Amino acid sequence: MKKNWVLSQEAFDVLLDWLDHDRDQAGRRYEEIRERLVRIFASRGCSGATDLADETINRVASKVVEVRETYSGDPALFFYVVANNIHKEYLRRKPPPASPISTSPPNLEKQFYCLEQCLDQLSHENRSLVIQYYQDDKKAKIERRRQIAERLGIAPNALRIRACRIRASLLECVEKCLEFDAD
């Protein structure tokens, strides 16, 4: 990407025209793509997911003049490829935080024991929620989380926050349990 490149109104108009020739439809597509990018980065554990989504859009906008004539297919896919590259850059620039829990085999059994003890301390509702929330992979995980949010009558983001808080309390409990055992 060009250094100090800023998304201008002209570049934004070209981007919207590439998404759809109908301006209203292009605006809806833009919003759908942006929301999807934010969800992608957030689900990958990136801090500043909205900033990374905006960076993706800026990079695509800076290249759209070059690629629009030769690119065939859904433009959203081009955004997702660029987002994947930005995610790789993000990982290189900021190493993922180290897990406070060791995964060495001798300690693994104690960790599971502590996790079970801490899960038992949760209310039945919170225990069930956190277990269901972290089940499955990929599409099945997304669908399960959507169903949980619908069942609870809350927005997916509220569910995500609730699960994160429960997980944080579990992590704290497990760490205390492991410290207590070490003493």
For residue 172, count other CB atoms closer than 10 A to its CB.
Answer: 12
Using pLDDT thresholds of 50, 70 and 90, give the confidence band for residue 8: confident
The whole-angstrom distance between residue 167's C-alpha and the CA centroid of its chain comes to 16
Average pLDDT of the residues in 159-172: 90
Q: Has residue 94 got a pLDDT over 70? A: no
Residue 2 CA to residue 122 CA, distance in Å, equals 51
User: pLDDT: is 100 or 172 the higher one?
Assistant: 172
Which residue from 122, 144, 118 is spatially nearest to 133, judged by alpha carbons? 144
* b/e code 54-93 from CB counts within 10 Å (16+ = b): ebbbbbbbbbbeeeeeeeeeebeebbeebbeebbeebeee
Average pLDDT of the residues in 123-148: 89
The pLDDT of residue 77 is 92
Task: Check: CB of residue 33 under 8 Å from CB of residue 79.
Answer: yes
Which residue from 25, 53, 24 is spatially nearest to 40, judged by alpha carbons? 53
Q: What is the pLDDT of residues 24-62, one digit of tens each?
A: 999 999 999 999 999 999 888 888 888 999 999 999 999
User: pLDDT: is 9 or 106 the higher one?
Assistant: 9
Task: Check: CB of residue 96 under 8 Å from CB of residue 61.
Answer: no
Rounded mean pLDDT of the chain? 86
Which residue from 24, 87, 31, 28 is spatially nearest to 55, judged by alpha carbons? 87
Q: Has residue 132 got a pLDDT over 50? A: yes
Using pLDDT thresholds of 50, 70 and 90, give the confidence band for residue 153: very high
Q: What is the pLDDT of residues 72-88, one digit of tens each?
A: 889 999 999 999 999 99
Model confidence, pTM: 0.50
Which two three-digit tokens encode residue 8?
């201008």
Residues ≥6 apart with Cβ < 8 Å to 143: none
The pLDDT of residue 3 is 44
DSSP 96: P
The pLDDT of residue 100 is 57
Which residue from 81, 87, 41 is spatially nearest to 60, judged by alpha carbons? 81
The pLDDT of residue 68 is 85
Q: Has residue 2 got a pLDDT over 50? A: no
